[in-house]
């Protein structure tokens, strides 16, 4: 799996449009758009190289997009989607809250939700256990894991802990 960064995305770009564009070069495992940039996780290195070669400076809705390999810090990280973020919360404040449970690789707030990348899955499970449905800056936090395999593992761990509501 190779993670690609897509920069300078036009406002009109949709996740499905980006996914279709990259699927011309290989199997897309995940596609996320955050404001004017995004990430595509493509199945293998050859497909990623083909996508970069053909889509870097590709004109989308009249705008040249940038496509390059993401400077991902850890392949073993666990990405959590955290919902119901206070409008006054900063990346640093949210990062500090999650760092109480383990190293945070990346923390990005988008409107009222965020993506928090924990270095280790076991730390993510502990953060979820400690923070799910707790109040933070006046809002009740909730989560979901972004990869099905990781989400299933976290849900199973929730069940083992005796959680009644483990939909994730």
Between 149 and 27, residue with greater pLDDT: 27
CATH number of 2-69: 3.30.70.330
Domain ranges of the chain: 2-69, 79-161
* pLDDT single digits (tens) 9-61: 999 999 999 999 999 999 999 898 887 888 899 989 999 999 999 999 999 99
Digit-coded pLDDT (tens) for 117-127: 888 878 888 88
For residue 140, give the nearest of 106, 101, 112 by alpha carbon: 112
Q: What is the pLDDT of residues 60-106, one digit of tens each?
A: 999 999 999 887 554 555 888 888 899 999 988 999 999 999 888 88
Whole-number pLDDT of residue 46? 94
Which residues, including other chains, have CB under 8 Å from residue 145's CB and lie 6 or more apart?
Answer: 78, 79, 80, 81, 124, 151, 154, 168
For the chain, helix, strand, coil in percent to 5 are 30, 30, 35
CATH number of 79-161: 3.30.70.330
pTM above 0.85, yes or no: no
């Amino acid at each position: 799996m190779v993670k690609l960064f897509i920069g300078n995305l036009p406002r009109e770009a949709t996740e499905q449009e980006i996914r279709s564009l990259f699927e011309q070069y290989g199997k897309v495992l995940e596609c996320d758009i955050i404001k004017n940039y995004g990430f595509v996780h493509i199945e293998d290195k050859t497909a990623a190289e083909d996508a970069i070669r053909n889509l870097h400076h590709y004109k989308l809705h009249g705008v040249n997009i940038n496509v390059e390999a993401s400077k991902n810090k850890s392949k073993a990280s666990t990405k959590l989607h955290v919902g119901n973020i206070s409008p006054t919360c900063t990346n640093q404040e949210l990062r500090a809250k999650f760092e109480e449970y383990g190293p945070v690789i990346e923390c990005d707030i988008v409107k009222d939700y965020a993506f928090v990348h924990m270095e280790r899955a076991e730390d993510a499970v502990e953060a979820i256990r400690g923070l799910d449905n707790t109040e933070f800056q006046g809002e009740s936090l909730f989560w979901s894991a972004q990869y099905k395999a990781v989400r299933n593992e976290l849900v199973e761990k929730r069940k083992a802990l005796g959680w009644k509501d483990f939909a994730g």
